Chain A
Amino acid sequence: QKEVEQNSGPLSVPEGAIASLNCTYSDRGSQSFFWYRQYSGKSPELIMSIYSNGDKEDGRFTAQLNKASQYVSLLIRDSQPSDSATYLCAVYNLEGAQKLVFGQGTRLTINP
């Protein structure tokens, strides 16, 4: 099993709809979880961090964490074409190591 797993997509969503991105991780003891957005040719940009179970909202973005199920998700409401990018899930302190481990990323396309 991969340490951090995402559906690589591509995921296609109509403009204005909700995009849902999912991520699972292998280490139940992990504490910090992040979503990064990466446009083609650019470096990853942090868009959400979450540390406790439940939902965390920031504008059109909502991160959801369920530690019992080892599952973290990102919802993008009112999707815009500018949201088209690759979204990377990252987990810190996987198996006690002080490093950030990334999933393979989900390519999201928002169709006008």
Chain B
Amino acid sequence: SAVISQKPSRDICQRGTSLTIQCQVDSQVTMMFWYRQQPGQSLTLIATANQGSEATYESGFVIDKFPISRPNLTFSTLTVSNMSPEDSSIYLCSVLSGLNTEAFFGQGTRLTVV
């Protein structure tokens, strides 16, 4: 399985500011995803991070709010822009492993917006 390093692990941010979360994988992977997990809830897919092209966003998520970069096959960033308290959540990076399509997760970023 891939080793995924995600940082920061947690942060407390002021409303109106932006936070960029980084995800580094120890091997090249085709599929990388960003999820959000609100308190007491399951995982909701934000977008698929595509290498060399714009991310594919799920319904309810837009690029202006959650810009994503994927400069190569081992790295991606998610920015949470113009934050409000409603953005307080855990954000998770995930990669798919090979043909088995098993997904593995980073440690998550616990974001609190005050």
Contacts and interface: CB of A to CB of B under 8 A. Distances in A.
B53 interface: no
B107 interface: yes
A103 to B, nearest CB: 6
A49 B100 contact: yes
B42 A102 contact: yes
Interface residues of A, number: 20
A99 B105 contact: no
Contact of B106 (A34, A43, A99): A43
Nearest to A6: B42
Contacts, number: 46
A104 B102 contact: no
Contact of A43 (B41, B48, B107): B107
Contacts of A32: 100-101
Contact of B48 (A44, A98, A101, A104): A98
A63 interface: no
Contact of B92 (A43, A101, A105): A43
Interface of B: 1, 31, 33, 41-45, 48, 92, 94, 96, 100-108
Interface of A: 32, 34, 42-46, 49, 88, 90, 92-93, 98-105
